[in-house]
Chains A and B, each alone.
Chain A
């Protein structure tokens, strides 16, 4: 018996020490081995032909591994790669799709230890970014940015919100803002004027109630809120006085009161039903009985494509306006979400990878994004008008104007504890909207919960 126990222990300890040293010892050998393996693999694949071609051209062929999600449905990856390769024929870029739903989990696991062979990683959200920064697996970019002479002002101040201890670990290439979508047909039918680019929340609420029809069987919903907490909770930070990581959430109360009242009056769909049923916001809007919906600008290309393909028939006449604002605040303040690129400390080809990151996050990359109907992080007037002139984009002036912002606030600013804070806020949001807690109770719980986390 003892013998077996000890032999088990020996075996497992051997495994332990093998795995444990992954954390600290020099990874050169393994890194070399894995790159060799990776190179062999890619060679085995289709790239063989291109690689041979580039070798013939005289350059040292390099293959960059790029971690991303939804490779088959996001339209700008391949154009970005093609545009880059046009100038850099000796660089191959291999997309590694880690899936959208579990992206942060998989990326975090892949970058654990020291054996990762990713050259460029896409950062999906701020909690995911914070995780990787805390783990110390992302290369600080300050020196590189200075050296390359990149002007961070081009990103409209958004990079300040992801700067951690004076250092930047990612560069954004895509930036989505939140707007208010509306279905013109619904307003026409109800004989109500369209929403405008300059509405207060009170005016918005009034308008939503005006177009609402609660007749069973032919309901029209004046407003629609997806189940995310951002659709309600974050309306409160747009006055610039409050932050979502501050530990006091009293400012969310009026917004919860407004939406909860709407929910009870049948102005918007019931949160509980939406949550369990998993109705996607795009399908809710497509059903043609939703008058207004607050959502990110990523929804533009979904709308355009699905209307074009003939799947959406009841919301073909859509428009959009700027986000409503609090009394006394300038119109044009809105929420933003950025998608960024970062350089892992373990990247096998750091210089080439940095060059690619500069390209994607720079002016040329921004052009490619705009051409495919997405809003690049580096925005200027010509890019906005390029998007607005896209086929299928609403032709009225108001909708074009809606994309111009004055202030943008990140959905979640960079904070050491962002994922823990998010858990607390999500839970209480859920309790308010299912009417399991009162607003006062839940806000109290948010305050206490978050204060306990940030100390």
Chain B
């Protein structure tokens, strides 16, 4: 009995040591980011690196808003991210249900086609896609970014894999009870897939928030650009304002972390199992 509890203590200590070392490795770069965001540009790349004991340049956090229209960029990014995430969740979880729980001709082929297209690098079909979108009059509109991001194969693939993990017997039982497929999707699958939906929300949010190449090609007028394009504006032809980049990066990290903190509470064991019981 005694040995078991000492073992447990040792185990616990070990786990925490590992976790703390690990967290440090993860965090050092962010501490660096914050310290760099408070420096003059010329002082950032000095070796050995000064972690503290310098005069903080709080001005960087003011300059980022005046040097470029960062507020407009932030508003645009928020708008795009919310709309894309909404559509992505809706259409992906909807389509994934059919791929996971319904039988129909061509299912496997269609699914494989979905997955395989993820493998094609965007760089190779970007030009024809852009020309096509411009034909439709969508160049330099937010709608173009929404269309590009909202119907991805990725979301369908991910949701389908999570639905696979939910026992078929649940759906069968519901069908016998006379529920239509739409009802099963709405009242059984959706509530059960909260962890998966949270994951997809986080990923879509992060992806859209950090997307650079899409907005770069499609959005040309200043009033429509996004945060990530703004970040790059601090790297100009003849200079690179790393102090400002770091300051803006720190700011832009906040919303994403908030979303993550809000949604990760759904990663709690037992939702699916209680569903089975009920």
Given the contacts A4-B105, A19-B132, A99-B232, A33 and B217 also touching, CB distance less than 8 Å: no
The reply to whether B105 and A1 contact each other, CB–CB distance below 8 Å, is yes
The reply to whether A278 and B106 contact each other, CB–CB distance below 8 Å, is no
In the complex, which of the residues A30, A280, A311 contacts B40, with contact meaning CB atoms closer than 8 Å? Answer: A311
Given the contacts A72-B233, A99-B233, A113 and B216 also touching, CB distance less than 8 Å: no
Q: List the interface of chain A (C-beta within 8 A of B).
A: 1, 3-5, 8, 15, 18-19, 22, 30, 33-34, 37, 41, 45, 69-74, 96-102, 106, 109-110, 112-113, 115, 124, 277-280, 282-283, 286-287, 298-299, 302, 311-312
The reply to whether A112 and B220 contact each other, CB–CB distance below 8 Å, is no
> Is B110 part of the binding interface, using a Cβ–Cβ cutoff of 8 Å?
yes
Minimal Cβ-Cβ distance residue in B for A1: B106
Closest-CB distance, B59 to chain A (whole angstroms): 10
Given the complex, which residues of A lie within 8 Å of B140, measured CB to CB?
41
> Is B137 part of the binding interface, using a Cβ–Cβ cutoff of 8 Å?
yes
In the complex, which of the residues B44, B113, B129, B236 contacts A73, with contact meaning CB atoms closer than 8 Å? Answer: B236
Q: List the interface of chain B (C-beta within 8 A of A).
A: 40-42, 44-46, 67-68, 105-106, 109-110, 113, 126-132, 134-135, 137, 139-140, 216-217, 220-223, 229, 232-233, 235-240
The reply to whether A71 and B237 contact each other, CB–CB distance below 8 Å, is no
The reply to whether A302 and B113 contact each other, CB–CB distance below 8 Å, is no
Q: Tell me the dominant secondary structure on chain B's binding face.
A: helix
In the complex, which of the residues A5, A8, A99, A277 contacts B229, with contact meaning CB atoms closer than 8 Å? Answer: A99
Given the complex, which residues of B lie within 8 Å of A41, measured CB to CB?
140, 221
Given the complex, which residues of B lie within 8 Å of A102, measured CB to CB?
216, 232
Minimal Cβ-Cβ distance residue in B for A314: B42
**Assembled-state Cα–Cα distance A62/B1 (Å):** 89
The reply to whether A287 and B46 contact each other, CB–CB distance below 8 Å, is yes
**Extra inter-chain contacts (8) besides given A15-B132, A70-B236, A99-B216, CB under 8 Å:** A22-B132, A109-B130, A112-B131, A115-B134, A283-B42, A283-B44, A311-B40, A312-B42
The reply to whether B236 and A96 contact each other, CB–CB distance below 8 Å, is no
Closest-CB distance, B78 to chain A (whole angstroms): 21
A-B contact pairs, 23 of them (CB 8 A): A1-B106, A5-B106, A18-B135, A19-B135, A22-B135, A34-B137, A37-B137, A41-B140, A70-B236, A97-B222, A99-B216, A99-B232, A109-B127, A278-B45, A278-B240, A280-B45, A283-B41, A283-B44, A286-B42, A287-B46, A298-B238, A311-B41, A312-B42
In the complex, which of the residues B67, B127, B217, B239 contacts A280, with contact meaning CB atoms closer than 8 Å? Answer: B239
Minimal Cβ-Cβ distance residue in B for A20: B128
**Assembled-state Cα–Cα distance A74/B237 (Å):** 9
The reply to whether A33 and B137 contact each other, CB–CB distance below 8 Å, is yes
Closest-CB distance, A110 to chain B (whole angstroms): 7
The reply to whether B45 and A277 contact each other, CB–CB distance below 8 Å, is yes
**Assembled-state Cα–Cα distance A4/B229 (Å):** 40
**Assembled-state Cα–Cα distance A72/B222 (Å):** 11
Given the complex, which residues of B lie within 8 Å of A286, measured CB to CB?
42
Given the complex, which residues of B lie within 8 Å of A100, measured CB to CB?
235-237
Given the complex, which residues of B lie within 8 Å of A101, measured CB to CB?
232, 235
Given the complex, which residues of A lie within 8 Å of B105, measured CB to CB?
1, 3-4
Closest-CB distance, B185 to chain A (whole angstroms): 21
Given the complex, which residues of B lie within 8 Å of A277, measured CB to CB?
45
Given the complex, which residues of B lie within 8 Å of A279, measured CB to CB?
45
**Assembled-state Cα–Cα distance A338/B113 (Å):** 48
Given the complex, which residues of A lie within 8 Å of B217, measured CB to CB?
106, 109
- Specify which of B67, B110, B139 lies most central, judged by the most chain A CB atoms within 10 Å of its CB: B139
Minimal Cβ-Cβ distance residue in B for A287: B42
In the complex, which of the residues B129, B216, B222, B237 contacts A106, with contact meaning CB atoms closer than 8 Å? Answer: B216
Given the contacts A1-B106, A283-B42, A115 and B237 also touching, CB distance less than 8 Å: no
Given the contacts A18-B135, A34-B137, A287-B46, A71 and B127 also touching, CB distance less than 8 Å: no
- Specify which of B105, B127, B134, B223 lies most central, judged by the most chain A CB atoms within 10 Å of its CB: B134
Given the contacts A5-B109, A19-B128, A72-B67, A96 and B134 also touching, CB distance less than 8 Å: no
- Specify which of B127, B128, B229 lies most central, judged by the most chain A CB atoms within 10 Å of its CB: B128
Closest-CB distance, B239 to chain A (whole angstroms): 6
Closest-CB distance, B164 to chain A (whole angstroms): 21
**Assembled-state Cα–Cα distance A172/B262 (Å):** 55
In the complex, which of the residues B135, B223, B232 contacts A30, with contact meaning CB atoms closer than 8 Å? Answer: B135
Given the complex, which residues of B lie within 8 Å of A3, measured CB to CB?
105-106
The reply to whether B221 and A96 contact each other, CB–CB distance below 8 Å, is yes
**Assembled-state Cα–Cα distance A198/B134 (Å):** 55
Closest-CB distance, A274 to chain B (whole angstroms): 9
Minimal Cβ-Cβ distance residue in A for B240: A280
Given the complex, which residues of B lie within 8 Å of A71, measured CB to CB?
222
**Assembled-state Cα–Cα distance A30/B236 (Å):** 34
Minimal Cβ-Cβ distance residue in B for A69: B237
In the complex, which of the residues B113, B223, B237 contacts A45, with contact meaning CB atoms closer than 8 Å? Answer: B223
Given the complex, which residues of A lie within 8 Å of B127, measured CB to CB?
109, 112
The reply to whether A282 and B239 contact each other, CB–CB distance below 8 Å, is yes
Given the complex, which residues of B lie within 8 Å of A282, measured CB to CB?
42, 238-239
Given the complex, which residues of B lie within 8 Å of A96, measured CB to CB?
220-221
Minimal Cβ-Cβ distance residue in B for A117: B139
Closest-CB distance, B99 to chain A (whole angstroms): 13
- Specify which of B42, B106, B135 lies most central, judged by the most chain A CB atoms within 10 Å of its CB: B42
